[in-house]
Amino acid sequence: MKETPRIVVMAGSSRRDALSRKLAAACVAPLQAAGAEARLIELADYPAPLYNGDLEAEFGLPPCIVELQRTLYDSDGLLVVNPEYNGSITPLLKNTLDWCSRPNAADRTRSGGAVYAGRAAAVLGTSAGALGGMRVLFHVRDILGYLGMQVIPQQLAIAHADRAIGDDGSLCDAAQRTALDRLSAALVDTARRLRG
């Protein structure tokens, strides 16, 4: 059994001051405290055109997507922090997940469904509003589950996220910190069990 599960952390937005990016960064320490090796990635580092089968047929997968597929394949779990766009998932996150789900003829082992299947996943929502991105969580859970990931029951929606993270980069509210610690521990435990 692996002693140190590897968890990829990503935010669904690449906007410079995105609350989801700040919350994603705040998730690294709790995951590490729970016994994981946490890797925070920025989706802006993996720019890909809007998915189109004709583009894929003519040019294959973008090199940055091949790189991200390998990162996901080498991981044991995924934590996604989601802003809410009109009650649903961001186009950036959906496009990235779609591209990564495509098989790479040059590396079938580390591409397509193999980058998701049998791995643990957790979802968080964030919003400056009172619901904390709660509505998007169900959409992302469905997508990750359809891709073959085991999405843990624990989830967290951070309301009023514009003032939820302190100068030290962690959540200000003690109850929210406790909830994030518990979610992190559950994700790490599930990842360890699934990939052990």
Mind listing the pLDDT tens digit for each residue in 22-41?
A: 999 999 999 999 999 999 99
Domains of the chain: which residue ranges? Answer: 6-195
Residue where the block lists tokens 């989601």: 82
First to last CA, the chain: 4
Give yes or no for a contact between 78 and 151, defined as CB atoms under 8 angstroms apart.
Answer: no
pLDDT tens digits for range 118-146:
999 999 999 888 888 899 999 999 999 99
Given a cut of 60, whether residue 1 has pLDDT beyond it is no
Q: Which tokens hold the place of 14?
A: 């690449």
Give the CATH superfamily of 6-195: Flavodoxin domain (3.40.50.360)
